[in-house]
């Protein structure tokens, strides 16, 4: 890959822990300039390659999901749109996935902490022998400062972006974000080496990331919430074989999502002998949630799709 | 394609309008036998190739979503699983899509009826010049009789299947359904030539279908709700180029789904000059709803994915 001519470099310690237009920008750029970010993992460096589950027990949540920036883009005004061309995403050679008590789609069913540390060398993440996830890296956090005064948590996403945890924002994709504050005030973080649609246990394959983006102001285009153009066909490294899918059918979409994941955990435990916490973490990094139907009242269907391509010895 | 040795033929008038274990089976088969169904469209023949929107205004809802069968499979007992190998799906050379007042994800925003009649010859459905949908045919209705006495509507899906409207159940897929009634009592219907995940306006490209399946009883395997193995990589005819996606961000998944579709309708109207009803129907037949994240409380994201491959002249 040819080197990218980054004009601005953001260091790993240039982060903040809230979305807030009063945070002073670390750089001011012209529309169309390229920025390269050196990002710690989403634990802000609290979890390392030698971490054990104790690191989850003692995790300081006030330091989680830091984002690096903000970048002030000249000419950006409320009502404009910021175009983010995602040029490059380079994960570190290691990552982690955790079950964090109180967090995740099935938090009530998984009260105990768990931690998996991954080796990411060679473009794959081996879960156990015979199961490996291809890396399709992206950043969970991409956002702008809010227009209203005050500080917002970095945990949820908002109309101005934030913790969108959208796996399809890989290198080559273009993201559009509504600008609320003068200068847009762009920040990013939360590197993910791979994730399923939904990120069901609350963590992906979390990893330090080198991320490079081009930021451009689109005047006179207003969008209501984030939109994006993917890099190409979806999930090119995983959508190469059959999928096994489990349905969750319920009158409420959240309950349908919970049922679909619960059924997939049962399937993984029964078919591959995984422990239930391991199966839950595997769902979070590799299983995609789709809305199969949301019109046949009163019952909706969320389906959880497990790519068979991750099983190196299976059908 | 080589002809399939169907042992049983079900005629288009051998249908029923409820899931009910008291409906007498039309055939009794051994486990592993093949059944070929000749299916009217989901309007039960009320809508034809020359239909106008008046056919929607006068639609008799009591005759909608008929299913053909039931087939009694010898040896099937409550607690077993029925394996449905989907061998062949052959749509007719025409189909229809409608906005039916009171039905669909945005029913409150689209109070007026609309109808689109499609030509499906050649393996494609042309929406307007420059926009064409590849056919990936399946049946919306695949199900078994309930175990409890009484009649259930064919409109919703249940744990024993029914109107699952799952686009990935194409030829080559294998579906697993929980058996509740002796003999399983299998029926199917609701041919779809193509659909997006979600079927957001409430109808797909509805079409008469010739469907062939093999029905096998799996003794001693109990599953909680439907599960399936897809035929291969997902959406092989549409996942060939980039996707444009619109996010819906909200504390409720249903509201997030509604917002994502609303934003996609705006995008289609602005970018391609479609009327809002046309854009809504195009979403239903071609746009996929994914759960991007459902863990970053309090805001979840549903994303609506528009395949750029349907635009024959576009990026």
Who's near B302: CB < 8 A, 6+ residues apart? A291, B247, B248, B253, B256, B257, B259, B260, B289, B290, B291, B292
Beta-bridge partners for A28? A72
Inside any domain, residue A156: yes
Pairing of strands B27-29, B67-73: parallel
What does chain B look like in DSSP terms, one character per residue?
-PPP--SEEE-TT-EESSB-TTSPPSEEE-TTEEEEEEE--TTTTSS-TT--THHHHT--GGGSS-EEEEEEETT--TT-EEEEEEEEEEE-SEEEEEE-TT-STTTTT--S-EEEEEE-GGGEEEEETTEEEEP--EEEEEEE--SSSS-B-SSSEETTEEE---TT-BTT-EEEEE--STT--EEEEEEES---TB-TTS--SB--EEEEEEEEEETT---SS-EEE-SSSSSTTTTTS-EEEEEEEESSHHHHHHHHHHHHHHHHHHHH---HHHHHHHHHHHPEEEEEES-STT-EEEEEEEEGGGBTT--
Rounded Cα distance between A163 and A151, Å, is 15
Any CB–CB contact under 8 A between B305 and chain A? yes
Rounded Cα distance between A102 and A109, Å, is 10
Inside any domain, residue B229: no
Determine the pLDDT at residue A5: 56
DSSP, res A54: H
- Give me the residues of B, 83-122, that contact A with CB < 8 A: 103-105
**HSE-up (13 A, CA, CB side) for residue A63:** 12
Any CB–CB contact under 8 A between B186 and chain A? no
Distance from CA of A8 to the nearest CA of B (A): 29
- CB-CB neighbors (< 8 A) of B259 in chain A: 224-225
Inside any domain, residue B203: yes
Determine the pLDDT at residue A283: 98
Any CB–CB contact under 8 A between A289 and chain B? yes
Question: Where is A35: in which H helix or E strand?
Answer: strand A33-39
pTM: 0.97
Domain of A281 in residue numbering reads as: 243-310
pLDDT beyond 90 at B264:
yes
Q: Which of A220, A251, A277 is the last residue of a domain?
A: A220
Same domain? B115 vs B254: no
Neighbours of B60 (CB within 10 A): 9
Determine the pLDDT at residue A184: 98
Same domain? A213 vs A288: no
Residue of A nearest to B104 (CA): A295
- CB-CB neighbors (< 8 A) of B204 in chain A: none
Same domain? B175 vs B75: yes
Rounded Cα distance between A90 and A37, Å, is 10
Rounded Cα distance between B58 and B41, Å, is 16
Q: Is the dihedral of CA B187, B177, B229, A195 positive or negative?
A: positive
Q: Over range B73-88, report the average pLDDT.
A: 98
The answer to whether A164 contacts B247, with C-beta atoms less than 8 Å apart, is yes
Determine the pLDDT at residue B7: 81
Determine the pLDDT at residue B5: 56
Report long-range pairs for B50-56 (Cβ below 8 Å, ≥24 apart). Answer: B50/B117, B51/B96, B51/B115, B51/B117, B52/B115, B53/B113, B53/B114, B53/B115, B55/B115, B56/B98, B56/B99, B56/B100, B56/B101, B56/B113, B56/B114, B56/B115
Rounded Cα distance between B144 and B220, Å, is 18
Determine the pLDDT at residue A276: 98
Determine the pLDDT at residue B297: 96
Same domain? B199 vs B251: no
pLDDT beyond 50 at B77:
yes
Q: Give the 3-state secondary structure of residue A39.
A: strand
CATH number (domain holding residue A183): 2.60.120.580
State both tokens at B219.
Answer: 């003794």
| Residue given tokens 């799709």 in the structure block | A305
DSSP, res A62: G
Q: Which of A189, A220, A251 is the last residue of a domain?
A: A220
- CB-CB neighbors (< 8 A) of A245 in chain B: 168, 227-230
The answer to whether B105 contacts A231, with C-beta atoms less than 8 Å apart, is no
Query: Who among A229, A257, A299 is closest to B294 (CB)?
Result: A257
Inside any domain, residue B236: no
- CB-CB neighbors (< 8 A) of B165 in chain A: 292-293, 295-296, 301
Rounded to 10°, the helix A253-272/B253-272 angle is: 100
Inside any domain, residue B138: yes
What does A229-286 look like in DSSP terms, one character per residue?
E-SSSSSTTTTTS-EEEEEEEESSHHHHHHHHHHHHHHHHHHHH---HHHHHHHHHHH
Same domain? A210 vs A93: yes
Same domain? B158 vs B198: yes
Any CB–CB contact under 8 A between A167 and chain B? yes
Same domain? A55 vs A89: yes
| Residue given tokens 């395997």 in the structure block | B221
CA B146 from centre of chain: 20
Rounded Cα distance between B236 and B70, Å, is 32
pLDDT tens sequence across B104-161: 999 999 999 999 999 999 999 999 999 999 999 999 999 999 999 999 999 999 999 9
Inside any domain, residue B237: no
The answer to whether A234 contacts B305, with C-beta atoms less than 8 Å apart, is yes
pLDDT tens sequence across B232-256: 999 999 999 999 999 999 999 999 9
pLDDT tens sequence across B15-50: 999 999 999 999 999 999 999 999 999 999 999 999
Determine the pLDDT at residue B6: 61
Same domain? A122 vs A81: yes
Same domain? B29 vs B98: yes
Same domain? A25 vs A96: yes
Question: Where is A178: in which H helix or E strand?
Answer: strand A174-178
Q: Is the peptide bond before A308 cis (omega within 30 degrees of 0)?
A: no
- CB-CB neighbors (< 8 A) of B244 in chain A: 227-230
Same domain? B216 vs B263: no
pLDDT tens sequence across A166-181: 999 999 999 999 999 9
Rounded Cα distance between B134 and B54, Å, is 28
Mean per-residue pLDDT of chain B: 96
Quick one: pLDDT band at residue B314, thresholds 50, 70, 90?
very low
Percent of chain B with pLDDT over 90: 97
CATH number (domain holding residue B256): 3.10.28.20
Residue of B nearest to A159 (CA): B249
- CB-CB neighbors (< 8 A) of B224 in chain A: 259, 263, 266
Same domain? B210 vs B247: no
Any CB–CB contact under 8 A between A231 and chain B? yes
Inside any domain, residue A216: yes
Backbone angles phi, psi at B256, to 5 degrees: -65, -40
The larger pLDDT score, comparing residue B220 to residue B282, is at: B282
Taking only the tens of pLDDT, chain A with its 315 residues reads: 445 556 899 999 999 999 999 999 999 999 999 999 999 999 999 999 999 999 999 999 999 999 999 999 999 999 999 999 999 999 999 999 999 999 999 999 999 999 999 999 999 999 999 999 999 999 999 999 999 999 999 999 999 999 999 999 999 999 999 999 999 999 999 999 999 999 999 999 999 999 999 999 999 899 999 999 999 999 999 999 999 999 999 999 999 999 999 999 999 999 999 999 999 999 999 999 999 999 999 999 999 999 999 999 744
Any CB–CB contact under 8 A between B237 and chain A? no
Determine the pLDDT at residue B4: 52
Who's near B23: CB < 8 A, 6+ residues apart? B16, B70, B145, B185
The answer to whether A201 contacts B291, with C-beta atoms less than 8 Å apart, is no
pLDDT tens sequence across B13-24: 999 999 999 999
- CB-CB neighbors (< 8 A) of B108 in chain A: none
Any CB–CB contact under 8 A between A255 and chain B? no
Q: Which of B129, B105, B109, B125 is nearest to B117 (CA)?
A: B125
The answer to whether B234 contacts A305, with C-beta atoms less than 8 Å apart, is yes
Rounded Cα distance between A53 and B243, Å, is 39
User: How many cross-chain Cβ pairs, A to B, lie less than 8 Å apart?
Assistant: 218
Total domains, chain A: 2
Backbone angles phi, psi at B309, to 5 degrees: -65, -15
Any CB–CB contact under 8 A between B192 and chain A? no
Inside any domain, residue A212: yes
């Amino acid at each position: 890959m040819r080197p990218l001519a980054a004009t601005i470099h953001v260091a790993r310690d240039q982060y903040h822990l809230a979305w807030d237009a009063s945070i002073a920008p670390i750089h001011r750029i012209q529309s169309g300039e390229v920025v390269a970010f050196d990002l710690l993992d989403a634990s802000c460096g609290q979890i390392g390659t030698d971490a054990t589950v104790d690191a989850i027990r003692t995790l300081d949540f006030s330091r989680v999901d830091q984002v690096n920036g903000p970048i002030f883009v000249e000419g950006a005004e409320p009502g404009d749109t910021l175009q983010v061309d995602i040029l490059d995403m380079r994960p570190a050679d290691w990552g982690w996935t955790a079950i964090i008590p109180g967090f995740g789609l099935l938090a009530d069913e998984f009260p105990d902490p768990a931690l998996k540390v991954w080796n990411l060398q060679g473009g794959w993440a081996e879960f156990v022998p015979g199961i490996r996830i291809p890396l399709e890296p992206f950043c969970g956090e991409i956002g702008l400062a809010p227009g209203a005064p005050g500080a917002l948590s970095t945990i949820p996403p908002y109309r101005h972006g934030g913790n969108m945890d959208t796996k399809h924002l890989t290198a080559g994709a273009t993201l559009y974000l509504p600008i609320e504050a003068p200068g847009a005030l762009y920040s990013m973080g939360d590197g993910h080496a791979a994730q399923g649609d939904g990120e069901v246990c609350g963590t992906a394959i979390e990893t330090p990331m080198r991320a490079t983006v081009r930021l451009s102001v689109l005047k006179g285009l207003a969008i209501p919430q984030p939109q994006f153009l993917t890099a190409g066909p979806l999930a090119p490294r995983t959508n190469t074989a059959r999928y096994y899918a489990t349905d969750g059918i319920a009158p409420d979409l959240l309950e349908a999502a919970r049922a679909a994941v619960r059924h997939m955990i049962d399937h993984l435990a029964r078919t591959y002998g995984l422990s239930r916490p391991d199966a839950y973490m595997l769902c979070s990094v590799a299983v995609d949630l789709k809305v199969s139907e949301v019109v046949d009242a009163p019952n909706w269907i969320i389906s959880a799709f497990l790519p068979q391509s991750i099983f190196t010895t299976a059908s």
